[in-house]
Amino acid sequence: MGTSIAAVITAAGSSTRMGGIKKEYLVLPEIPDTVGTAREPDGEALTVLGAAVSVFASVDRIGPIIITVPPNADNGEYAARRALPQRLLRQEVPAIFFVPGGASRRVSVHHALSTLAGFKPDYVLIHDGARPWIRPELVDRVIDAVIRYDAVLPAMPPSETPKELEGGFVKRHLNRASVVMAQTPQAFAFKPLLAAHEKAAQRELAESVEYTDDAQIWGEFVGPVAVIGGDKDNRKITFPYDILL
């Protein structure tokens, strides 16, 4: 048997910084000179989530895809399904599943990983559903890198000089050459990542700890994370104006 690779697309957040508008379900505008397209070949408009999932579904090496959806919402899965191109739901490969998220991104990803355990993938890619301009080429490069290193993330150099703060003042002037801006998909060997999430969950119960991404969890409980070059167009939609840039 060949290498088995799964994907998790996170879309369970409340989009607070979007004013409560569910950003993953917004229809992408047609913007000249942007990466990819905002429409299906038949002319159907793509949502933010639909564009992201379409790219992962187009990569032959990707197996099951898990999409995390808002928890405690009767129409959580229904709304997510409506946000996807219907052709993706009709096809058998890759299979797409929906999992209710949790109170945080980490909990949502943990739910998805627990669901994936039944599929026993060798590796898993975890991608923000609010990054619609991901390219298949980047997905392929991440897959090649995770098979080599077991843990990898794409990143871009910062465009401005970063500073570390303490009490409202600059504590340290960081060297821009040694700092990167992490993107997704982040990818990991599956079994160690699931075990790391279980340890992170235990620590969250015992302490006031917040994990902002899976690379942080892997770094604390497993080991180093390799970095490869990201893509400047692989932006995340956080604020309303981001969808138009």
Tell me the average pLDDT across 197-218.
Answer: 95
* 140 pLDDT more than 70: yes
Q: Which of 25-29, 122-126, 164-168 has the highest mean pLDDT?
A: 122-126
Segment 132-156 mean pLDDT: 97
> Rounded mean pLDDT of 223-233?
97
Q: What is the pLDDT of residue 225?
A: 98
Tell me the mean pLDDT in the region 156-176: 93
In which band, very low, low, confident or very high, does the pLDDT at 53 lie, cut at 50, 70 and 90?
very high
**pLDDT of 193 above 60:** yes
pLDDT in tens, 8-42: 999 998 777 777 789 999 999 875 455 555 666 66
CATH 3.90.550.10 fits 5-244, yes or no: yes
If you average pLDDT over every residue of the chain, what do you get?
A: 91
pLDDT, position 14: 76
Q: Where are the domains of the chain?
A: 5-244
Mean pLDDT within 149-153 = 98
**Beta strands 181-182 and 151-156: pairing type?**
antiparallel
How many CB atoms lie under 10 A from the CB of residue 187? 32
